[in-house]
Amino acid sequence: MTDSSLAQCGNLARLAFFALLGLAGLSGCAAINIQDVDPDQLDIKVRLNQGASLSELDVFLTRGLWAQPVRMNGAQISVAYADGSTEALIASNQRGRYGLRSRDSGLITDLQVDTVGRQSLPLIAAVRISEDNSFDGQTFFKDDVITLNLTESAGDERYLIASGRCGNTDYRSAQKITDRATTLTVKLGDIMKRVNNAAEADLNGIIPITLTLEERYQPIWTPPFKIDKLAASDSVQFQLDTSGFRVRAEVRLQVGNSLMMQFQNQTWDTQFCL
């Protein structure tokens, strides 16, 4: 190979190296100020969950295909509540992420991003599981059946989310519900099977369980605003003792006439939870 060919190869290698460095910067290693972002390349993803006692809002700002994080650089993101009050979001440790946690159950109606504009949020109705379903401190078995009394459905989609804790780890499984009834019958054997499938283990012991009813909203927004998730939720908590129950090969759960969940039994290693 001639000297000129070697030099040409070296130049190509250097160009490839610097191109890779550029891609690394765009993929999240460095943030860019919002004032320097072309509006057509800006994405603003919104995640909101309004719980019974805590509302959580997260806003993620990125630029372009590589999701380069965008910082506000002195500009502000704020929300407006139904009573007319406003509150600013706080920057998190994650670049491009701004959030708000509020124990005030005020309804958030608008999101304002300085230099960009305002986005109206849907009227998210509160989700409540009746106080008659206060299971805190109670222990159930897998052959027990419980009934949840619910508020009327107002969202576009409804989910029942089961979460079980083993040691310091939570295992979570979400199931879409098409039934809009105000009562929900739940077989705890099915719930435990879902948690086991999420854990990929046969969890044994007294398992703390959280059942969450979540209603999600899917309005149509125009760029740069995008929906990550808009939801309202409420939860009940209890313990599930896994002893003294034989798991069948196949389990079916039917809620009303419109939901059928069928689980094929899996073979998992046993994991004891203390």
pLDDT at 249: 36
Task: Give Cβ neighbours of residue 208 (< 8 Å, ≥ 6 apart).
Answer: 164, 165, 237, 238, 239
Q: Say how far apart CA 77 and CA 91 lie, in whole Å.
A: 9
Domain final position from 62, 89, 120: 120
Instruction: Give the DSSP per-residue string, 168-186.
Output: TEEEEEEEEE----SEEEE
Residue 24 lies in a domain: no
Residue 162 lies in a domain: yes
Q: Specify whether 204 is located in the same domain as 165.
A: yes
Q: Specify whether 111 is located in the same domain as 141.
A: no
Q: Specify whether 144 is located in the same domain as 258.
A: yes
Q: Specify whether 228 is located in the same domain as 158.
A: yes
pLDDT values of the chain reduced to their tens digit, one per residue, 274 residues? 554 544 454 554 454 444 444 444 444 459 999 999 999 999 999 999 998 888 899 999 999 989 999 999 999 999 999 889 999 999 999 999 999 998 765 789 999 999 999 999 998 888 888 766 667 778 999 999 988 888 888 899 999 999 999 999 999 999 999 888 888 899 999 999 999 999 999 999 999 999 999 999 999 999 999 999 999 999 999 999 998 554 443 434 344 444 444 444 556 788 999 8
Reported residue count of the chain is 274
Instruction: Give the DSSP per-residue string, 12-28.
Output: HHHHHHHHHHHHHIIII
Q: Specify whether 89 is located in the same domain as 207.
A: no
Residue 197 lies in a domain: yes
Amino acid occupying residue 196: N
Q: Specify whether 102 is located in the same domain as 211.
A: no
Domain final position from 120, 144, 170: 120
Q: Specify whether 173 is located in the same domain as 83.
A: no
| Nearest 10 degrees: Cα torsion 91, 93, 95, 96 | -30
Residue 17 lies in a domain: no
Torsion sign, CA atoms 179, 180, 183, 184:
positive
Q: Specify whether 141 is located in the same domain as 258.
A: yes
The DSSP 8-state label assigned to residue 94 in this structure reads S
pLDDT at 24: 46
Q: Specify whether 56 is located in the same domain as 163.
A: no
- Structural domain of residue 252, as residue ranges? 131-273
Residue 235 lies in a domain: yes
Residue 62 lies in a domain: yes
Contact 232, 127 (CB under 8 A): yes
pLDDT at 53: 81
Q: What is the pTM of this model?
A: 0.75
Residue 226 lies in a domain: yes
Count of domains for the chain: 2
Contact 229, 216 (CB under 8 A): yes
Q: Specify whether 72 is located in the same domain as 195.
A: no
Task: Give Cβ neighbours of residue 158 (< 8 Å, ≥ 6 apart).
Answer: 176, 177, 178, 179, 180, 213, 214, 215, 216
Q: Specify whether 116 is located in the same domain as 143.
A: no
Residue 46 lies in a domain: yes
Q: Specify whether 260 is located in the same domain as 140.
A: yes
pLDDT at 255: 40
Domain final position from 120, 143, 165: 120
Q: Say how far apart CA 90 and CA 101 lie, in whole Å.
A: 9
CATH, residue 60: 2.60.40
